[in-house]
Structure 1
Amino acid sequence: MKLKKQLLLVLLFAQSYFYAQTFNVAPILTASGNQIYCPLTSMKIVTDMTIVDPDNTGIDAIYIQISSGYTIGTDVLTLTGTHPTISSSWNPTLGKLTLSGITSQPTYTALIAAIKDVEFSNSSPNPSGFRTFSITVGEANYLPSNGHYYQYISNIGVSWTSAKALAELSQYYGLQGYLATITSVEEKQLSGEQAAGAGWIGGSDQETEGVWKWMSGPEAGTNFSYTFWNNGEPNNLGAEDYAHITSPGVGILGSWNDLSNTGEASGNYQPKGYIVEYGGTPGDPILQISTSSTITIPSITSTTPASNCDSASMTLQATTNIGTINWYTNPSGGTPIHTGTSFTTPVLTTTTTYYVDSFPSGCTSGTRTAITATINQVPTVTLNPVTPICEGTTASITASTNFGTISWFDSITSTSPIATGPTFVTPNLSSNTTYYAQANNNGCLSPRVSVLVSVNQIPVVNDETIEICENDTLILNAGITGLSYLWSTGETTQSIVYNGSNNYSVVITNSSNCSKTKNFTIIEYAEPIIQEVLVEESTATLIMTQAGDYEFSIDGVNYQDSNVFTIQQGGLYIAYAKEKHGCGLDTQSFVVISIPLFFTPNGDGINDNWIIKGLTHYPNAKVAIFDRYGKLIIQLTATKFFWDGTYFGQQLISDDYWFTLKIDDTTPEVKGHFSMIR
């Protein structure tokens, strides 16, 4: 029902408006006066104003609004002069001044006179930009840059779909209305920041979530090309598919948020109305019910300072948004020393600051912009003496300058420094080397100053590795005469006697106090001494008294690295141990005998006799065989070196038997036992 009543009221209004327009010609407003503003002054917004209306002599009100560039808090429109039939009302939120009659409808003549006396002022000492003033006969906000009108309609709780329908039923002096589409910063400021309250605008992402489109007016169906969302918006909480200008005091003034079609029932997110935009619809009449004027506040938009070394004349440059640039020597007061975008200074010996503005003649206030012509002094470099260094070490070079920073170079012509700062530590040097220091004071370079690093040679020595035999006598010699020596033993002579250590070193120092260390590595080879030859059955192992680099033999001809020999034939052998580097030879005799562990005297021709192999090589050898009770059974000699298992012609039983073996008087007796198996 509420929507039907609203639509009925709109239809009745549209019908009455149609009849009024049929018999009433809209007035034509024309203003002139695009001017330049002096800061902290008041300036009339027009230089001339006309209103042409063939069928009326007056109108209820004229609305003057700062429609572009408005700065709330500092910009003010004020009616000056004496106007007995006109009253004025300034709305700082809208940036709008309303001129209306005091007791009755004012005449156009009175309104024109009042418009000519409306003045603009700004309380900032250094304002910037421009201001556009729209002058119109209707209450809708007029934006001269696109010729459109914007009207806030209060309607608590209205839905987005109802607001869209109501907006499209609205007309303004014959212009078709639609829910506002905001596509520029100027539109955003006039319809949002300078509007009467929060309300719907014509955007929605209902078709595709996150893809916002304008759904009304000439932009219907097009994606947003400009947005002014509040912080954290759009957030799509609860199917929020429709764009809404945020309530004042919530986030950024005039910014947008997304709401559901109905919004909330109360509070900041309850719809309070909607914004209707007029203009741009095909078939709209061409109206002249509004006009505009502008003022521009001169400002310096850029400056180009200059610098030079020592004394020089320099060219400074500046640009402005309007007017002619004036050059001064002081930040305020005085007369210009030059006009134009560039200024060539006289020859300067010190840094000098100049000041520019583009205010017209007669402006007594406003901030000038400083531009500096900088004179940088060419620096000087002082190098500290460098002590000669020894070959293979580094040098630390220091320098100072009266201005700037120091860079170091490895040649007089190189362009890339190898180090920066007052101190430079060279790499390890092997010969005399020249370096160069240069100071840089903001691009002003000193001459390069050279410094020679003298490099003294160190003694030429080579490490030695010496091989000796155990108990040899050795003299270690530093190898260079006439210098200073310090051995690792503490001795200071050129030569010392080897005392048995493996490693020695000597620091050799020349007359330039440059030193080099010579290292001696002594490799002493141990003398070979055979401690014993360990014989186990057919294996002989040579046991040495100490470890060494030895090779071994049991025939004196064929040598091997292993000290273990396998001997197939029993007998007397000589073991040889030789040091591989010629540091001695040792020998030792040893006996290898092969004593069987059992025999089988059964007449089959296999192991029928117990024979000690190799016994024939020892004519003095004696073997005694005993039974388990110690009874002597038989004695064997070199001529009788086997036993057939009998005792005085009688066969003995299978059993274990014992033996003793004596090779000769110089060898120990060997004892053991064996088995007879029948």
Structure 2
Amino acid sequence: MRNFVFSYFTILFFSLTHTVKAQLVIGKPSLGFSQACASPSFNTYNATFTFSPETALSATNQFIIELSDATGSFTSATTIYTSAQGAVTVSPATLSFSLPNTTAGEAYKIRIKSTAPVATSVPSNAFAAYYKIQDKPFSINNLISTGAYCSGGSYVLTIDNPGTADNDSPLKYPSLTFNWYKETSPTTSVFVASGETLAVNAPGTYFVRTNYGTCTSDSYSNRVTVSEATSATTSSISSSLGNPYCSSEGATTLSAIKGNTYQWFKDGKAISGATNQMYVTNEAGAYSVAVNLGSCTTNASINLENSGFTSSIDVPEFNTINDGETLVATVTTDASNPQFEWFLNENLIASATSNSYEATQMGSYKVVITQTDGCAASSEHTFSITEPFPDVANIPNLISPNGDGINDTWVIPQLYVAGTNTEVIILSAQGKVELQTTNYQNDWPQNQINFKDINPVYYYIITTSNNKTKKGSITVVK
């Protein structure tokens, strides 16, 4: 009987001891942040909690952090951290966790659970949490800065997709949502609607942001100004490679605003078959498009350049210098890290590598500018240097091209030669145009004239830049 009583109290003692040890109280988690704005480059957050008594923990215990849904409910909680068995034994404890990449809301909570013994804390305070899976500017409306709608209609703004290296479209991420805004000033705006598209039926400037709530973000679009179309309304054209674009990178895509039908033009002439919203080209020029919006139309234009940079030279195309004189030519350019090559009569001048060159010889000069950073583009400028034309007083009516060096060519006053923008025309007796130029070099005739029984007669017409005209004849003798 005594052994039975002893065994009974022994079992009861161990049972009560085990029951007391199984009781564990976990305090409310304290957050080490006020909001969680996670991203691929940062996603680590801390939570601190207490538990008591420490002796209640089993050697196999694990602490778990659970994340509620965006409303604070733990009905479908997500486990975002699990400690190793027996790793946490001292109270208070601080644990680090990361957010799922689908996190998006303003009222998340976490709670702490233990496995041995089983216990659960009360939820933490609510906090805003977003995983910014896309956090770069993106484009809408094909980067076209304008849009137009007919009276009583609307113009639909759309986030561009698919994403590329130049446009990381947020539409690639199905978990994201979007908020559209209308500008009220250069620095303020008002919320308009949510969604991937926006139908605009009121004039204004609009843009869209990825909905990351109270978290700041760089995930926003370009601005688009939308207006009601009238007879005078014009829209704009975008170039996928910019303007000027780098022709060495291939063709650029010109895009117009959305409409029902399109007709593209280049330099004022309709481009056959160019009737889509986009037109691909690798040629510079003045492009325009007529867009039919349904009950009204709008037009757009762009002066497309493909040099990649601009440059100029400070000397005219035709120059004269006397013996012992020089001419300094200087190039100005916005090319990135430019390289300069100078040529005389198509021969490279090896020592000339700067943007200036001091010319001392007569001949035809050329400078080639090459952009060595970014767009691999180049351009060139040409000019010539000759001896000064002889300063004769009158226009001669007789020449003798016999090779004796005297009166071999028709030499006219300096008032009418190259550099004066004077047009010189020489006609045969039959009315055939033998020469027509605005750059006369005192060098006619350049080819041998076939003499027959009589000395041929030619006729000249000289028209100056201010439209004054001189006419006469030229008799050619041996």
TM (norm. structure 1) is 0.23
TM (norm. structure 2) is 0.30
Tell me which structure has the larger Cα radius of gyration.
Answer: 1
